[in-house]
Amino acid sequence: ELAGIHRLFGDMAWDPLWHAVHKLHGSAAVCGTPALHHALDQLQRAVREQSRTLTAAGLSDLQYEADRLAALTTKPR
């Protein structure tokens, strides 16, 4: 899903990008991942404004949070 979001940003496909981020934003809310949800909220706002700079920063934050969450869930106990 993140690869598709990155691809849509590369294509500057703002409407499909917003819908993809919005869908993931809802999923993060249901899953109870507040940092990921916040990153997606910020990204959704940037995409809505069609700001390349803010969207790039938001994608970076999203990737960081997704990687951090993945590391927490795959860490051996």
- pLDDT tens track for 26-74: 999 898 899 999 999 999 999 999 999 999 999 999 999 999 998 988 8
**Quick one: pLDDT at residue 41?**
96
Q: What is the pLDDT of residue 77?
A: 62
CA–CA separation, 15 and 50 (whole Å): 9
Specify the 3-state DSSP secondary structure of 33.
coil
For residue 70, give the nearest of 26, 33, 27, 25 by alpha carbon.
33
The pLDDT of residue 32 is 86
In this prediction the pTM is: 0.88
Distance CA 54, CA 70 (A): 24
pLDDT of residue 5: 96
| Predicted pLDDT at 14 | 98
